[in-house]
Structure 1
Amino acid sequence: MNRAPRQMKLGAFLMATGHHVAAWRHPDVPADAGLSFAHYKHLAKVAEAAKFDALFIADSVAAATGDGANRMARSDHFEPLTLVSALSAVTERIGLIVTATTSYNEPYHIARKFASLDHLSGGRAGWNLVTSDAAAEALNFGRDEHIDHAQRYRRAREFHQVVTGLWDSWQDDAFIRDKASGQYYDPSRLHVLDHKGEHFQVKGPLNVARSPQGQPVVVQAGSSEAGRRLAAQTAEVVFTAQASLSAAQAFYRDLKSRAGAFHRDPDDLKIMPGMFVVVGDTEAQAQEKFESFQDLVQPEVGVALLERMLGNFDLSGYPLDQPLPELPLTQSGQQSRQALLTQLSRNEQLTLAQLGRRIAGGRGHFSVIGTATQIADHWQEWFEQGAADGFNVLVPHLPGGLEDVANKVIPELQRRGLFRQDYSGTTLREHLGLKRPANRLFPVTER
């Protein structure tokens, strides 16, 4: 039997004004984009017309404040579940992946909201499961300090267990809604979770019927040892930052192998590294475009971004013209990103100010600055050489950067047979080639 050729999965990672930290200052970018529904509606339409698998929207439950934060467009933006619920009404096919932290939420809330989104969108919801890496979030939820790294992941594993259990509260055909008999649902098709664990006590059931996808797609974004263990057990898509092809290949092999160790089909785990791209008609034009954003980076802004990405360290006392200081392993931030940026600083012998400027666009994600052909070459190499099943695409500015990818890079991928010409399904699972999960709480029986 001939199998269809393998094709890339692509997510459009939207960040208000764009991923470059200084993008909001550029004349082509609306500075108030974070609270403009018209802006996001346009982006969603562009991405859907280009046949992206999904929109991907990150989140933080704390405003960016402190030194340098007042010079970033990172402090006011929509709550993303609310945003994509609205976007579900103006789109038809594109998936809607949203970040929600397990550190400062409750499982019942998350299960209910994402099941509702899956119904509203006709089966296009995805939950990016994260453990909070912004220490300031703790202060908004009755804590004096952030939950440490190991405990965050223990909580996340149990959180996932509860959420997925709640999603299986009802069998697919539980709600018969028979007006003649007066029976609204079949009690034999209901499961009460009654979970009691280390972090949560949740009775259930969920007050939302089982959703169109069975369960929303679960995405995970950690690349530390704890993050990899969690992803291998729970994730269906993994978003990761990898600085080179060889590093991405090693990560890909490791995650696929770990999935197999948990008796999972490795193909049921899609690995989508971030790719920061700047598109030009020529390489020189692309580089000139990128430099127009780099020229807007103020030193204190680069260092403020660096403080956050390294794991919530205060770098204000260190000279900008000296190398990155030795820092202890972060317990409040992303350990994998700390390791990546530390290695980047050493490999390129960067000063603190240079490192801040270096990550102003992609924050450590692999960057390609060039023509559509050059970008497609890189993506094809990673895709065909065992480094990725697809990519989460980061662009410097919005909407222009996304329009460049949609109008120039996507057609090049389509010409090479690497990306779809049109959607063949209606749900996010169908786009990604993921199976609809059976309800684990009910045996399969003939009725």
Structure 2
Amino acid sequence: MTDLAPAGPADPDLFWIDTPEHRRWLRAQADAMFDFFKGVLGPEPGFRSLDYDGNPLTDAIQPLHSTTRLVHSFALGKLLGREDCDAIIDRGMDALWSGHRDTRHGGYVWGIKDQAMADPRKLAYGHVFVLLAGSSARMVGHPDADRLIADVSEVLDRHFWEETPGRLCDEYNRDWTPFSDYRGMNANMHGAEGLMAAYEATGRQIYLDRAGRIFEFFLFNRAPAHGWRIPEHYKSDWSVDLEFTGDAMFRPAGTTPGHSFEMGRLLLQYWDLTGRQDDRVPQTARKLIDTAFEDAWDAEKGGLYYTLNHDGSPRITDRYWWPVTEAIGAYAALLKLERNPQDEARYRQLWQFAASHFIDAARGGWYPEVDAQGKPDATQFKGKPDIYHALQACLFPLSPELSHIAPSLQDLPPA
């Protein structure tokens, strides 16, 4: 374990989220990630994927969620006071408008390479991240943010938002002909994230109202009926599809505890934005978060299982970085509500595992997966594919807020 890992205070009874030592460590980790991921810039348009050493993976397609998350993440960096973020924000905004945007059929294609279309699918999952990117870019005053928000909002209205159920459908071909009748929780979860970011950036109530409808269905309707584990997969009539097998990586069968952590934190953000009026919310968020941790924490080896069966037993026991980052964010949110010793213990436990298994202290960035021995592995992911999850795990605890976290970064003391 690196000696930086989680930089606990001299007094073990203090909560790490409050201590200067831990907060300096979080900021240093965020800065190391920004420094590493600056390598996504190359001479060609768009972004490059990076290997463990930060060298480009030249054969990689640039997916929409990667482009958007880089814009969002480096906008957070600019709000944090870093002076080297504009180049990546500008490059990403250009890639969205001039590469991913389909000037013939409208919408945003899933994959590009050298600004040319490489994967023409139109996915709700990708479009809601375009909304997130545009919203974050607006918070830092980017001149193209308003047109991006307006364009993607119109596409979401026309093709993805289903007004009667109050949720997003999932996927189309390039010409907007459907290629499946699948409905899923994941696109809606990130939809709520993007909608709340758009509300925070623009003040338009429709965004917040739609996020609330998503939460009402998945967290107050479905989750309680399924042992506080959120069903991931649905049929076209929004009935739960318990037999769905899908894709073992991106749409795995069963439930995904990492999403329960995300949903719990996002629900608390929504509650804060709406004036903390719904008394159901704090306990609902806790049930989601604690159930996920108790089901998924590997008591023998540490880390969190990727998926569970519907009864909460382990299904895919592989351990990836992003569920750990989302659990950190979720327990940080709970600690903002109440300095609870059990939440503190789990927050420390998660950071200790991350520091000893996922964080690359020498080069920056996080390894995306570990093998059965806890060593970096490349079974599902090439290189270091993502700054977004791990960066937010560092920044969310630094902000005292449950909502408006992005602008609150401007008020943090300098590193």
Give the TM bin, normalised by the shorter chain.
0.3 to 0.5
Structure with the higher fraction of residues in helix conformation: 2
With structure 1 as the length reference, what TM-score do the two structures score? 0.33
Greater RCO (Cα-Cα under 8 Å, separation 6 or more): 1
